[in-house]
């Protein structure tokens, strides 16, 4: 846009041109360029989009790659690599027309890059923990489980700039799913050259707004503007630095000192001070996420429903959100957060309205039936990842469990190690969270399907639950689909392989010089829309 204006200005007399140019240039430059510093609150396990699974990783990887669709400033799906698409009448076939674009090394981008990438993430040897998110694509599950060759996947390049994807059933969330990093393309020519080293600085090639400059583990990740990005002219920020430390208190001090522009979380115990001293910088908004404790259903005594139910009933969620967090979170008695699209009403536990003292009494009785009591207390380890909030919640929950004779030993580890242990099933009870990849209840409930794999941390498996979810997947009628998923959630809430504790709000600290950071339910904030003033 700036180039067009400059061309027109040449038609004026030199003096007028100089005055207008000076005004235009310097008013624009106040918002152009600059370095943005972000506290992402966790060290990525990888920068390979097929090897990550967390929101803290998405904050970085999502700046380097763009899928067929992308997020706008409100995190809504918009054209990405695909500039347009058509959908078949039955909702199962999508045909995408790609824009002409290049990888960051200048190599032309083609539809075959998506064919290669979607096959790669589904290959068993890739061991992508998030591959099951793409099971809605025809043939994806068979490829991922080693039952079919990757060539059978229903993702085809019709020509260099046309891609066809066939689904197993109509999916109202599919275009939003394609904004997720599981659907990002990766550069085949670079992977074949460098193998596992392709994500190292100097090797990495991307197709998004920013490219990798440096990565100092457990310290920071630096990115710079990708001049080959098709929309580079509208990307203002020149450089990004992501600080990966998890200590919320230390991050808050750095933010106050002006060393960080955006912090993607803060410790809730600071909320009163923040509201008083940094009211404009403190951002709290509704967020499509659930904070929960998965239970390892493959290990005794947690194979016993009475034990799981006793633990769930003894947690006073209202006390946690009102007295521990105090930032507007909602006590959770269901897995799916309220207000999700295409979902009429979720299913809550049937004991939600029982007064807390009576729930404690019933929880004690359940443990007694299961063989636990003063002479034989239930003892186990409760794991959580580094965060003042997680620690405070774990301490509160352990105290609540103590009321029913349970002894929970707390164990803390950094986020990367914590989730690696959960995915290996190396835990008894642990802290976890899920934030929606797309606005649909299926994105939460699919985590409890037997076929989900590593993200089904507690290895829950119920044939009726699986049957209902599979039937919902193939149902075009949105009302019927919603009811099938509600029945599935009701089954899970009866079995309690997970203990929902609260539904999230996003909590961020944003400098007043940052413009274009818009609160949204997914808490996704792509830097291509941000400017510095």
Q: Residue 505: its pLDDT value, please?
A: 92
Evaluate if residue 474 carries a pLDDT over 70: yes
pLDDT digits (tens, 9 = 90+) for 301-345: 999 999 999 999 999 999 999 999 999 999 999 999 998 988 977
Evaluate if residue 69 carries a pLDDT over 80: yes
Evaluate if residue 5 carries a pLDDT over 70: no
Q: Residue 244: its pLDDT value, please?
A: 95
3-state helix, strand and coil shares in percent for the chain, rounded to the nearest 5: 40, 20, 40
Q: Is the dihedral of CA 401, 403, 408, 411 positive or negative?
A: positive
Paired residues of 379 in beta bridges: 407
> Both tokens of residue 352?
């939600």
420: exposed, middle or buried (Cβ count in 10 Å: 0-12, 13-18, 19+): middle
Q: Can 35-238+511-532 and 288-506 be said to share one CATH topology?
A: no
35-238+511-532: what fold? Dipeptide-binding Protein; domain 1 (3.90.76)
Asked whether the beta carbons of 164 and 12 are under 8 A apart, the reply is no
Q: Residue 346: its pLDDT value, please?
A: 82
Q: Residue 279: its pLDDT value, please?
A: 97
Nearest to 335 by CA among 494, 452, 114, 459: 494
> What b-and-e string marks burial along 245-255, b requiring 16 or more CB atoms within 10 Å of the CB?
bbebeebbebb
Paired residues of 94 in beta bridges: 87, 165
Reported confidence tier of residue 454, pLDDT bands at 50, 70, 90? confident
Evaluate if residue 12 carries a pLDDT over 50: no
128 alpha-carbon distance from chain centroid: 15
Evaluate if residue 4 carries a pLDDT over 70: no
Q: Could you give the CA distance from residue 230 to residue 173 in angstroms, rounded to a whole number? A: 26
Per-chain mean pLDDT for the chain: 92
Paired residues of 97 in beta bridges: 84, 162
Evaluate if residue 354 carries a pLDDT over 70: yes
Reported confidence tier of residue 20, pLDDT bands at 50, 70, 90? very low
Percent of the chain at pLDDT > 90 equals 88
Q: Could you give the CA distance from residue 308 to residue 459 in angstroms, rounded to a whole number? A: 14
Evaluate if residue 23 carries a pLDDT over 80: no
Kindly state the DSSP code that residue 107 receives in the 8-state scheme: P
Provide the pairing of β-strand 210-216 with 220-225: antiparallel
pLDDT digits (tens, 9 = 90+) for 206-217: 999 999 999 999
Asked whether the beta carbons of 152 and 74 are under 8 A apart, the reply is no
Asked whether the beta carbons of 509 and 346 are under 8 A apart, the reply is no
Paired residues of 85 in beta bridges: 96
Q: Residue 32: its pLDDT value, please?
A: 66
The full set of domain ranges for the chain reads 35-238+511-532, 288-506
Evaluate if residue 439 carries a pLDDT over 50: yes
Evaluate if residue 405 carries a pLDDT over 50: yes
Residue with tokens 């008695």: 333
Comparing 33 with 215, the larger pLDDT belongs to: 215
Q: Residue 2: its pLDDT value, please?
A: 32
Average pLDDT over residues 463-479: 95
Q: Residue 422: its pLDDT value, please?
A: 94
Q: Residue 129: its pLDDT value, please?
A: 87
Nearest to 126 by CA among 176, 204, 58, 182: 182
Q: Over the Cα atoms of the chain, what is R_g?
A: 25
Peptide bond preceding 301 in cis form (omega within 30 of 0):
yes
Q: Residue 26: its pLDDT value, please?
A: 35
- Of 56-60, 186-190, 385-389, the one with minimum mean pLDDT is 385-389
Calculate the CA dihedral of residues 203, 205, 210, 215 and round it to 10 degrees. Answer: -30
Calculate the CA dihedral of residues 265, 271, 277, 282 and round it to 10 degrees. Answer: 40
- Of 10-14, 238-242, 315-319, 380-384, the one with minimum mean pLDDT is 10-14
Percent of the chain at pLDDT > 70 equals 94
Q: Could you give the CA distance from residue 279 to residue 281 in angstroms, rounded to a whole number? A: 6
pLDDT digits (tens, 9 = 90+) for 161-194: 999 999 999 999 999 999 999 999 999 999 999 9
288-506: what fold? Dipeptide-binding Protein; domain 3 (3.10.105)
Q: Could you give the CA distance from residue 429 to residue 381 in angstroms, rounded to a whole number? A: 7
């Amino acid at each position: 846009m700036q180039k067009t204006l400059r061309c027109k200005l040449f038609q004026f007399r030199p003096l007028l041109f100089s005055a207008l140019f000076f005004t235009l240039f310097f008013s624009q430059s106040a918002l152009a360029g600059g370095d943005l510093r972000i506290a992402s609150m966790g060290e990525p396990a990888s920068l390979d989009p097929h090897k990550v699974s967390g929101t803290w990783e998405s904050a970085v990887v999502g700046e380097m790659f763009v899928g067929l669709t992308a997020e706008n400033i409100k995190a809504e799906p918009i054209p990405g690599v695909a500039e347009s698409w058509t959908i078949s009448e039955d909702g199962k076939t999508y045909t995408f027309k790609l824009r002409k674009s290049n990888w960051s090394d200048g190599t032309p981008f083609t539809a075959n890059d998506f064919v290669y990438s979607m096959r790669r993430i589904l290959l068993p040897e890739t061991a992508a923990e998030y591959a099951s998110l793409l099971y809605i694509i025809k043939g994806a599950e068979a490829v991922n489980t080693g039952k079919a060759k990757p060539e059978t996947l229903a993702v085809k390049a019709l020509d260099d700039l046309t891609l066809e994807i066939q689904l197993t059933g109509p999916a109202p969330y599919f275009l939003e799913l394609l904004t997720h990093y599981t659907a990002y393309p990766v550069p085949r020519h670079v992977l074949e050259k460098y193998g596992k080293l392709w994500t190292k600085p100097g090797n990495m090639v991307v197709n998004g707004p920013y490219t990798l400059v440096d990565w100092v583990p457990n310290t920071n990740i630096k990115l710079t503007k990708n001049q080959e990005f098709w929309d580079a002219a509208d990307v203002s920020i020149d450089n990004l630095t992501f600080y990966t430390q998890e200590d919320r208190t230390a991050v808050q001090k750095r933010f106050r000192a002006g060393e960080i522009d955006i912090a993607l979380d803060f410790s809730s115990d600071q909320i009163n001070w923040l509201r008083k001293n940094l009211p404009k910088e403190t951002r709290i908004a509704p967020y499509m996420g659930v904070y929960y404790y998965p239970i390892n259903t493959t290990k005794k005594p947690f194979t016993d429903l009475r034990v799981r139910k006793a633990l769930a009933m003894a947690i006073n969620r209202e006390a946690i959100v009102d007295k521990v967090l105090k930032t507007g979170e909602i006590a959770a008695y269901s897995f799916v957060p309220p207000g999700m699209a295409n979902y009429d009403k979720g299913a809550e536990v049937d004991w939600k309205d029982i007064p807390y003292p009576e729930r404690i009494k019933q929880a004690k009785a359940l443990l007694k039936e299961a063989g636990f009591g003063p002479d034989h207390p239930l003892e186990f380890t409760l794991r959580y990842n580094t965060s003042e909030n997680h620690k405070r919640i774990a301490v509160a929950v352990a105290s609540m469990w103590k009321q029913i004779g349970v002894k929970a030993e707390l164990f803390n580890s950094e986020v990367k190690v914590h989730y690696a242990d959960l995915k290996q099933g190396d835990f008894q009870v642990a802290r976890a969270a899920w934030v929606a990849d797309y606005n649909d209840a299926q994105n939460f409930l699919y985590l409890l399907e037997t076929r989900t794999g590593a993200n089904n941390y507690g290895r829950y498996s119920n044939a009726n639950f699986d049957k209902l979810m599979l039937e919902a997947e193939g149902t075009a009628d949105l009302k019927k689909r919603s009811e099938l998923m509600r029945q599935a959630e009701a089954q899970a809430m009866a079995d309690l392989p997970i203990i929902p504790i609260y539904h999230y709000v996003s909590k961020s600290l944003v400098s007043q010089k940052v413009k274009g950071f818009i609160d949204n339910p997914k808490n996704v904030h792509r830097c291509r829309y941000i400017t510095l003033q």
